[in-house]
Structure 1
Amino acid sequence: MKFLPVLLLFCSTLSAQITLLEFPQNLQLYPRNHQTNQGVVRIQGVRLPGSTDSLILQMESSNGTVSRWAFALQDFPADTFLIPVPIQAALEDYRFELTEKSASGAALLATANQVVAGDVIAIQGQSNAQAVAYNGNANGWQSPFVRCFGNSDPNNYTDTQWYIAEGNGYFTPGSIGQWALRMAYQLQADLQIPVAVINGADPGKPIEFFQRNDLYPTDPATNYGRFLQRLKNGGLDAHIRAMIYYQGESDGDRALIHKTLFETLHEDWRIDYPSIEAFYVVQVREGCGAPSLQLRQYQKDFAQYLPKTHSITANGIAGHDGCHYAVNGYEKLGEKLFKHLEKDLYQIPAQQQWNIQALSARYANDTNTLIEISTDAIWVLAEPGSNADFFLSNGSSSVIGISTENNKIVLELDQPVYDPTAGISYAGHAGDAGGWILNSDGFGMFSFFNLPIEDHTSLPNFDIPGIMSGPGNCIQLDGQNDCIFLGPVLSNSYTKEAWIQWSGGGIGNNILSGASGTAFWAPNYGLGNQLSAGHNNGWSQVVDPTPLKPFEWMHAAVSYDASTAQLKLYKNGYLVAESQDIPPHTDPDLYIGAFSGAYTFQGKVDEVRVWDYARSLDEIRDHMCKKLKGNETGLSAYFRLDQQDGLVTQSATGNISGQVLGAPTNFWKRSSIPLGTHSAYTYEDKNRLSLAFDSGDSLVWQVNSVPTFAHLYLTNEIPNVLEPADGHVLVDNSRYFGVYFPNIGIDSFHLTYHYKGNPFTLVDEPRLNLLQRKDNAQPFWLAADPVQFDFTQNTTVYTGKQPQEMILAIAENTVGIQLFPENKDFLYPNPTRDWLFVRIPEIVRFRLLDNYGHTCIDQKGTVWAVNLQELPAGIYHVEVECQGGDIYRQKIMVE
């Protein structure tokens, strides 16, 4: 259907003698000339030859001024007339009356009331640009001097009426949105100039929806075409002063598409609306649609290279419900934009700074555990909890503390950053909670992605890749096409469980899903990505109400009992959702990180376990931080994912192999989940945990209270890092231990190690110490501080704050007998305790021979201790056979 443009303004044939082509409408706003501060009302028409003699125009201002003009039509050429009437742009309106006069008398032709002159602002985007009344009424800000023309309803786009603008409506005549109404109200009140706002937003639409049909710019089938024609109908397209764009939530992780299409849209606006003096892009925030940080970085950066473009951020604005805002939030946004417009369009000096920009970042100490971020603010405030919105790329460090000094933000990390390419990002968050970075005027900081960190200090990396103790390795999925196909694994009843670390992107984020009939995934429902599961197209029959946190390891499990038709969802050992009367699935196939090879997970996955029955809550808790052997009853598949390379991975049950799909890169990564060979736990029911060793040693972990849960674990294996902290020697490198808990509500804990049963600790007890690291992925140990020893009770007590792993060590200045000429491997006889202690930095063969060549002891390892009191008196020989075949000997005497 061909689109027919409406004649400009008003057409009337009230008199047979005069036909009006242009005449003001009731409530019409005429764009003002910024130099003269006047708008021009046009009255145009034609008369029948020899009919009307003259026209009388009366203009009455709301301030009481009345002006009248008489026009002899014979003075106009060819029976046509055009009467331009200037009106002042001020908080006053005008009434127009046009009368025709002829020999037979006078007749009123047309009237128009409340006509004004002022400025025009345009708005585009999706639901937060439309900004209807989600929670609260904005129409208390209505003003007779804030106007709107037409309607953005796609089904009523031919509306050519003028309206007093209102803020609450959804596609209603005159609706401009709540924040736009607040913005325009303040503009007209502060500048004493009427304002028209034309809003073309359409909720829930991706950026493709707003593009121009270059072959038919006013195409009514497009949002762009309807909006352009609407502005033309109102005589406004050549007079728009600013365009405000709030969109991006529906573009999710399609950052490059958003960037490319906005650049195109911006160029089209410059062609069709040449009068625009400023373009404003609102940087969207965390919440519905899960817009990626890369997308938000692009939105921030548009101001750096697109002409006349300014960016502002929605971070720090209250009243957010996870997607939209209550009226108090839209009020804040409207006031923020009002200040921008005043400064940029009206050259009114700014009294406030409305956005904080992070300018640069640097490491502030030699261990890369403090990051200093410089901003463009004069002063910044970090609200409590704001550290949770920062994270590092290319590193496993977490931000555990935050402080500010003038315009600088200082972040404290839980462990050093090893990768010099690591960057710092700031995501902000969804919801109405605090925890923002704010300036002195209460406005938030832009989200940013992967800001380079300068002044990196090179740190050691002593990880031994071949050692897979503890959690060993894991897989890292790119959210595009990486996954592992396991084949038919799932039984009618089942439990699926895995450790996952979501990295904040991806579509679907399937964890352990099938080819057609089962899903265990973390889609975005509007509040964030939520753990979910279901059968047979009911993919969300159980949903965790709390969204996932990016870059945080968590244990996830789902169980289904076919006999009771119960489906249960677990997170970190908590039952978070359950449903009844769920029909059985018919899909035995499974993928790690995908559904039917698609909708893949973005992040890391480890310790994948599939059982042929519905495990209980206690069973899940008992083993989530404990390694399995692979032969447990009911275990269908167990993927440790401890490879270093390859495209096939084997189940520890021995009967299943998984095929790696997607040609991934950087697929096998060092894992950092809390996993040992033994574990104990508490879930808010006790504040004390203990674990006993085979030797009789024990660990006791204690806090004042446990607000959520905690796991204490022991790993009876050689750690993947054998190089101790500077100035130390590992005492017993065949075991280490750790504690894991959500870092919420625990100020500190006390860990007591009763070491009397460990002979290694008695070699040189006064020099005992604990070394610590964040997790299995940290490639070196650090000295723990503070540590208190009680040599009468053979205990050491460590006070800590963060989840971590620990191992015993002694100070390296112990006097010993040199075993090797390199002066790095020592034999430690201790005359006070009659123990022989040997440490070697690689796995070797130890032998103790008597003076006749008989073997007394023969074993392999890196640490060896012998109680000399158990040997008969005599001469003995210690032999150490290295992996290369070299043998080193040392003679000792036992008296």
Structure 2
Amino acid sequence: MFACFVDHTYVRLFILTLLAILCRSLPSQAQVTLDQWPAPLQLYPRDQNSQCSVSITGRASSATITAVSLVVLRNQQRYRYERVPVESNTGRFGFKPVIKAELAEYSFQLFAHRAPVNPAVNGLSSVGDSIRVAVRDSIVCGDVFLIMGQSNAVGGSDPNPYRNEFCRSFGVNRPGTPYNPADTAWCLINTNEGLNSLWGVELQRLIKEQHGIPTAVINGAAPSTTIGEHTMRTEGRPADLTTLYGRLLYRVRKAGVADRVRAMIWRQGEAEAQGNPGAYMQWFPQLYKHWKLDYPNLQKVYHSQLNLLTDPVLGAGELRDFQRRSKQIFPDNQPIATVGLAAYNGVHFGNEGYRQFGRELFRLVARDFYGSTDTSNIESPDIQRIFFRTPARDELVLEFNPGQMMRWQADTTLVNPANGNRSQLALPLFMYTDYPGGEANFIQSATEQGNRIILKLKKPMYAQTLTYLPSYYQDGQLGYFAGPFIQNRRGMRALTFFRVPIAAPLPVATDLQAVAVDTSYVRLSWNQPVDEVEQWLVERADSTDQFRPIATLSGSVLTYDDPRRSPGQATESLRLDALYQYRVRALSRRAEADYSPVVTASLRLVLGLDEHEGVARVYPNPASDEVRIEVPVGWAGAPVRLTLTDATGRVVWRRSERVTGGEPLVLASVKDLPTGAYLLAVEHRQAVLRCRLVVGR
């Protein structure tokens, strides 16, 4: 019994001694202070290499802590390990592990290491111990996008909300209530932390599923707010929580991403279109300036163009046109139409309309930030210029941005969802000249030609401007505008436009002529001098009938020589005996003329020659006064007969001349001839020489 008692006493003493040593030797969490450490669910913005550095810094306050180590896990698998000594004087330490922008969550575990225990203490020895002092998981690397605007930027309520660990937000957005400065936590979308735009969530879902990049969308929208309220920025305190602008900036700064925001998605203007359109055009440049100041690396602004409202405000059309032209004013702006989105009710949209907007927005974002190759016809078509095609002013050309494949929607059948009643509307009813006092329904037919729509008019017109879709609309059947629309082959609706100038017609070169000069070149000439013509485009086609541009000339130039072989060119541009077709058209920045009639020419100068026929050399050619005709040396001093025929084969004159001695030449006067192309025949006994002769002034 005594031996057993002694044994138990020894065990208890050993355990107590060991606990005392451990408690005295190991640091606690209180002995490590962290300055930089990931927040729960934090997203770090990726860099140009699609990765980011996670900055971790702190200080060990106990002298017993000599080193700190960091274990990084990727999807719960060990990814990286690093151990660093703490600074002897300050106890400071730091890490900068790199993580990738991918569908992976990273975890960080921080350990503190103590110095080895003195072997003389209690007769024990140690190589040092460590303790885990901090853990953070669910960290990702990706992209940050911001949303500002009013109710359509808040954007719908999903009865089956989408949620994913790679789609995140930050802070709380509860418009109409005072902002709590403590609401600065990262969160997953569609949780209780705040409003998540349905179309913003759709954007995040598609980026995650199609490009594998985590995202954070931070929404600063508030219903029924004006652009002036969004622009209000307190000087010296831009993150002022009493302003809409300051609330969003405060959240973005607290998230630590203000200098790495990818894009701003701006959807607003209803408040102004209902009563004060001029305010939008006044305030937006200032708001844009604020964005560039506080989000210095902002790369794009996706600028939504309003749908048609029912409020009778004429200036709403001008407001929408400013939104359309935002790309011309601010090059990084990308306008996107909301007209024609599904489930419209006159101001807002049903969930399908918001999801559709998210999908259409995604294609632009994917092109701009994720290298998507799906780039054809993803933009809303934007009118570039409008001009009369012919001097008769009975055709109009609507030219949209390059690459668009335009579609003119036929008569549209609209169905009233309330009662099922059907009605038909046609596009010509919604095109207006000199709006609002001009005409409508003046279009006879429309032809689609790539990025152009050619409108055949019912009569010649002398209008100055054209407007597509009215400033406002109240439909007797539906109560709001639901079509028809101009769109492209992908169904993207054209941005509405307001009072776009119509350029006057340019002249058509109806008098184009083409004359082959010897075997050297084909000379083109026309006579249509007009001040408005800035350039002439010259095109040529061979036997394939495929016209290709060969020259662009100044508007003051009315001739062009197409050489058989250009200087310095090894191969021939024109082949002997080949028949070529030519046409020209007048161009300016505002308009284009129709093509001239096609003319033909060939460098096959000699027709039907027999063994006694050849080619004469005549110069100058073209000529205006007198020409010299070279003949064989054996003809010196001999009489010759000259016959000149015009392009129709009619004999213009016949003459008998004598070849000069010494240099074998024949001289002939052409000063009384009309300008044009002729065929000259020189006969000597049984031999005939022929050549083309051009007379010009």
Q: What residue in structure 1 maps to residue 519 of structure 2? A: none
1:403 matches 2:423: no
1:85 matches 2:107: no
More divergent stretch after superposition (103-112 vs 176-185) = 103-112
Instruction: Report if aligned partners of 1:254, 1:295 keep a CA contact under 8 Å in 2.
Output: no
Q: What residue in structure 2 maps to residue 53 of structure 1? A: 66
Q: 1:63: Cα distance to partner? A: 6.6
Q: Equivalent of 2:263, from 242, 262, 268?
A: 242
CA offset digits 1:702-752 (Å, max 9, x no partner): xxxxxxxxxxxxxxxxxxxxxxxxxxxxxxxxxxxxxxxxxxxxxxxxxxx
* Partners of 1:69 and 1:362 in 2: CA distance: 68
* Partners of 1:288 and 1:79 in 2: CA distance: 68
* Partners of 1:74 and 1:213 in 2: CA distance: 42
Q: What residue in structure 1 maps to residue 365 of structure 2? A: 341
* Partners of 1:14 and 1:208 in 2: CA distance: 53
Instruction: Report if aligned partners of 1:61, 1:94 keep a CA contact under 8 Å in 2.
Output: yes
Q: Equivalent of 2:170, from 130, 134, 149?
A: 149
Counterpart secondary structure, 1:139: coil
CA offset digits 1:376-420 (Å, max 9, x no partner): 3223231423333322325442226553422433557777756x4
Q: What residue in structure 1 maps to residue 299 of structure 2? A: 277
Q: Equivalent of 1:94, from 69, 91, 106?
A: 106
Instruction: Report if aligned partners of 1:157, 1:226 keep a CA contact under 8 Å in 2.
Output: no
Please list, as runs of the form range in 1=range in 2, the aligned pairs for 1:329-478 lying within 5 A after superposition: 329-353=353-377, 354-363=379-388, 371-376=396-401, 377-384=404-411, 385-393=426-434, 395-399=437-441, 403-406=446-449, 407-410=451-454, 417=461, 420-427=463-470, 433-455=482-504
Q: 1:69 to 1:184 in 2, by over 3 A?
A: same
Q: 1:356: Cα distance to partner? A: 1.0
Q: 1:95: Cα distance to partner? A: 1.6
* Partners of 1:308 and 1:122 in 2: CA distance: 15
* TM-score, structure 1 normalization: 0.45
Counterpart secondary structure, 1:322: coil
Q: What residue in structure 1 maps to residue 567 of structure 2? A: none
1:113 matches 2:137: yes
* Partners of 1:341 and 1:122 in 2: CA distance: 13
Percent of matched pairs sharing the same residue: 26
Q: 1:74 to 1:209 in 2, by over 3 A?
A: same
Partner letter of residue 287 of structure 1?
Answer: L
Q: What residue in structure 1 maps to residue 348 of structure 2? A: 324
* Partners of 1:261 and 1:447 in 2: CA distance: 21
CA offset digits 1:408-447 (Å, max 9, x no partner): 33557777756x4343333486858341211100110001
Q: 1:87: Cα distance to partner? A: 0.9
Q: Equivalent of 2:337, from 313, 321, 324?
A: 313
1:43 matches 2:56: yes
Q: 1:157 to 1:412 in 2, by over 3 A?
A: farther
* Partners of 2:316 and 2:440 in 1: CA distance: 20
Instruction: Report if aligned partners of 1:249, 1:288 keep a CA contact under 8 Å in 2.
Output: no
Equivalenced residues, count: 435
Q: 1:261: Cα distance to partner? A: 1.1
CA offset digits 1:96-134 (Å, max 9, x no partner): 22233436964432222210011111111111111131x
CA offset digits 1:634-689 (Å, max 9, x no partner): xxxxxxxxxxxxxxxxxxxxxxxxxxxxxxxxxxxxxxxxxxxxxxxxxxxxxxxx
Instruction: Report if aligned partners of 2:184, 2:254 keep a CA contact under 8 Å in 1.
Output: yes
Q: 1:329: Cα distance to partner? A: 1.3
Q: 1:356 to 1:275 in 2, by over 3 A?
A: same
Q: 1:127 to 1:207 in 2, by over 3 A?
A: same
* Partners of 1:337 and 1:49 in 2: CA distance: 54
Counterpart secondary structure, 1:16: helix
Counterpart secondary structure, 1:311: strand
* Partners of 1:66 and 1:29 in 2: CA distance: 18
Q: 1:138: Cα distance to partner? A: 6.1
Q: 1:22 to 1:342 in 2, by over 3 A?
A: same
Q: Equivalent of 2:189, from 165, 172, 184?
A: 165
Counterpart secondary structure, 1:238: helix
Q: Equivalent of 2:29, from 6, 12, 15?
A: 15
* Partners of 1:312 and 1:15 in 2: CA distance: 53
CA offset digits 1:568-607 (Å, max 9, x no partner): xxxxxxxxxxxxxxxxxxxxxxxxxxxxxxxxxxxxxxxx
* Partners of 1:331 and 1:369 in 2: CA distance: 42
Partner letter of residue 437 of structure 1?
Answer: I
Q: 1:365: Cα distance to partner? A: 7.3
Q: 1:336: Cα distance to partner? A: 1.6
Q: 1:87 to 1:198 in 2, by over 3 A?
A: same
* Partners of 1:445 and 1:452 in 2: CA distance: 17
Counterpart secondary structure, 1:179: helix
Q: 1:339: Cα distance to partner? A: 1.4
Partner letter of residue 56 of structure 1?
Answer: S
Instruction: Report if aligned partners of 2:68, 2:93 keep a CA contact under 8 Å in 1.
Output: no
* Partners of 1:220 and 1:197 in 2: CA distance: 19
* Partners of 2:76 and 2:132 in 1: CA distance: 24
Q: Equivalent of 2:242, from 211, 218, 221?
A: 221
Partner letter of residue 286 of structure 2?
Answer: T
1:297 matches 2:324: no
Please list, as runs of the form range in 1=range in 2, the aligned pairs for 1:569-718 lying within 5 A after superposition: none
Instruction: Report if aligned partners of 1:381, 1:438 keep a CA contact under 8 Å in 2.
Output: yes
Q: 1:52: Cα distance to partner? A: 3.0
Q: 1:177: Cα distance to partner? A: 0.6
Structure number with higher relative contact order (C-alpha < 8 Å, ≥ 6 residues apart): 2
Partner letter of residue 449 of structure 1?
Answer: F
* TM-score, structure 2 normalization: 0.58
The two structures, once aligned, show a CA RMSD in angstroms of 2.9
User: Any stretches of 5+ residues in structure 2 without a counterpart?
Assistant: 1-26, 118-128, 412-425, 474-478, 507-697
* Partners of 1:29 and 1:288 in 2: CA distance: 42
* Partners of 1:124 and 1:194 in 2: CA distance: 21
Instruction: Report if aligned partners of 1:320, 1:329 keep a CA contact under 8 Å in 2.
Output: yes
1:30 matches 2:44: yes
Instruction: Report if aligned partners of 2:102, 2:141 keep a CA contact under 8 Å in 1.
Output: yes
Q: 1:269: Cα distance to partner? A: 1.0
Q: 1:422 to 1:161 in 2, by over 3 A?
A: closer
* Partners of 2:30 and 2:341 in 1: CA distance: 59
Counterpart secondary structure, 1:78: coil
Counterpart secondary structure, 2:334: strand
Q: 1:107 to 1:49 in 2, by over 3 A?
A: closer
Q: 1:147: Cα distance to partner? A: 1.0
